[in-house]
C-alpha cells in the first residue's frame, strides 16, 4: 500500500465537515461558559468571611421578627432596580459616614446582631470584616445576596418579598 492509499488527501468537503464540527463544539462550550461564568466569576471574587452566615430565608425571617437588623448595603440604583427586601434597611456602603450611620441605626449598641446583604455576597463579606474591625461584635453575612451566588439562589431567586425603594431626596 502506498502512502496515498493509507492517508487519503483531505478534501474540501471533509475540511468543511471538520470545521463545522469544531464550530458546533465551540458554540456548545460558549453556551456552557455563558451559563456558568457569572456565578463562577463572582465566586472567585467572594472573599472568605470568618463570621456567621445566614441564608436569605433565615435573614428575612429573623429581620421581620426583630431578631437581627438586616442592612442592604447596595447602591440606590440597585435598590431601584430590584427593590429592597422586606425587613431590610437600605444603607449605601459608599457613604463616608457608613459606620457612624449604622451605629445610629442600632442605637449605639455594637453588640446588636447586624446582617449584611448585597447583590452577590462579595461586598457584604468585605464590609463584615470592616465592621468587625470597627468594633461591631455580631456581624452576619448573607452570602447569597439579592441576586444569588454559589451560596444559593438569592433573595429574588427565592421569591422573598421586596418593597419598592423610594429615594428620600
**C-alpha closest to that of 119 among 67, 77, 61:** 77
Higher pLDDT, 168 or 123: 123
52-163, CATH topology level? Oxidized Rhodanese; domain 1 (3.40.250)
The domain locations on the chain are 3-45, 52-163
Q: Which three cell numbers stand for residue 74?
A: 447596595
Other residues' Cβ atoms within 10 Å of the Cβ of residue 47: 11
pLDDT tens for 22-81 read 667 666 666 655 555 555 455 555 555 667 899 999 999 999 999 999 999 999 999 999
First to last CA, the chain: 87
Reported pTM = 0.72
Amino acid at each position: 500500500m502506498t502512502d496515498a492509499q493509507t492517508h487519503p488527501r483531505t478534501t474540501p468537503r471533509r475540511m468543511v465537515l471538520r470545521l463545522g464540527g469544531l464550530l458546533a463544539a465551540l458554540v456548545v462550550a460558549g453556551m456552557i461558559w455563558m451559563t456558568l461564568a457569572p456565578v463562577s466569576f463572582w465566586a472567585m471574587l467572594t472573599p472568605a468571611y470568618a463570621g456567621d452566615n445566614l441564608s436569605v430565608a433565615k435573614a428575612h425571617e429573623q429581620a421581620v421578627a426583630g431578631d437581627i437588623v438586616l442592612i442592604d448595603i447596595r447602591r440606590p440604583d440597585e435598590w431601584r432596580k430590584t427593590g429592597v427586601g422586606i425587613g431590610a434597611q437600605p444603607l449605601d456602603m459608599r457613604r463616608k459616614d457608613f459606620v457612624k450611620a449604622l451605629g445610629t441605626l442600632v442605637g449605639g449598641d455594637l453588640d446588636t446582631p447586624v446582617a449584611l446583604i448585597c447583590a452577590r455576597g462579595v461586598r457584604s463579606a468585605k464590609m463584615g470584616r470592616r465592621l468587625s474591625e470597627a468594633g461591631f461584635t455580631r456581624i452576619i453575612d448573607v452570602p447569597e445576596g439579592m441576586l444569588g451566588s454559589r451560596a444559593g439562589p438569592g433573595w429574588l431567586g427565592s421569591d422573598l418579598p421586596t418593597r419598592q425603594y423610594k429615594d428620600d431626596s
